[in-house]
Amino acid sequence: MRVVRSTFDNHCIGKVDISAAFLDSRFAALLCRNHAKFKKQKNKGAFLFSKSLVDGLANSCQAFTPGTRFYFPICIRKEHWIGLCLDFSASKLYVFDCNPDLNEDSALRQSLLPISEMFPLLVKQSSISIAGVDTPLIVERIQGVAKNENPGEAAITATLLIQTHSLFGSDPCRGITPSIITDEAHRAAVMIYEFHAKL
């Protein structure tokens, strides 16, 4: 996700009308681990999130706007990676899934319940001003995504779909096909190496 954030920032320098926040898979896992306690809380609005979650969200973007979209990957039932875009201005939780046959819509909604229920409250608790945060999000798969049944390529595919959607919207996501995964994975590996070499 650091590669995605860097690519996004390089493409959007000076563009104040585009705003996206990128979170990593650790954030998603930590948020989901809080769901059991959250369900037991009678007053959901009074649930207190950990400092690491609040800080992680607050540090995910240099400058939030009312239309900021939140992106992160998540592993469903420890077996399949998908990408998520939480767009409060559209009241949608968009799902980037390269192998939709693995999860029916009802099962997908159930798996994403921790995100859809807790994320809006976490945004409020982080004092981030986002439009539409009080409206329930509708889970919607991005249509037209090329199918890739290779489980070893699901994670890189999800991040490429996140990157493409954050920069160009839904239609160009159709170009993320299995044929480009090897080259894109190599490019990402080189960038990750360069990040570490600068440390």
| Distance (Å, whole) CA 69 – CA 130 | 9
* Tokens matching residue 115: 């995100």
- 159 and 187 Cβ atoms separated by less than 8 Å: no
Kindly give the confidence (pLDDT) of every residue in the chain, 199 residues in length, as a single tens digit, with 9 standing for 90 and above: 888 988 898 888 766 667 899 999 999 999 999 999 999 999 988 999 999 999 999 988 878 888 899 999 999 988 999 999 999 999 999 999 999 999 999 999 999 999 999 999 999 999 888 888 888 889 999 999 999 999 999 999 999 999 999 999 999 999 999 999 999 999 888 988 887 776 5
pTM over 0.85: yes
Tokens coding 110: 């159930």
Short-list 57, 28, 15, 16, CA closest to 158: 28
Kindly state the helix (H) or strand (E) to which residue 178 belongs, with its residue range.
helix 178-198
Euclidean distance between the first and the last CA atom of the chain, given in angstroms as a whole number? 17
Measure the CA–CA gap between 110 and 120, rounded to whole angstroms.
17
Q: Supply the pLDDT for residue 45.
A: 87
Predicted pLDDT at 136: 82
String of b and e for 143-167 (b: at least 16 CB within 10 Å)?
Answer: eebeebeeeebbbbbbbbbbbbbbe
Give Cα separations from 72 to 33, 49, 78, 162, 189 (angstroms).
Answer: 16, 18, 16, 8, 19
3-class SS string, 36-67:
HHHHHCCCHHHCCCCHHHHHHHHCCCCCCCCC
- CATH of the domain spanning 2-198, picked from 1.20.1250.20, 1.10.3720.10, 3.30.310.130, 2.60.40.10: 3.30.310.130
CA distance readout (Å), 141 to 82, 84, 136, 158: 10, 9, 16, 12
pLDDT of residue 15: 66
Helix (H) or strand (E) holding 114: helix 113-125
Residue 32, pLDDT score: 92
Taking Cα atoms as reference points, which of 131, 135, 139, 119 lies closest to residue 56? 119
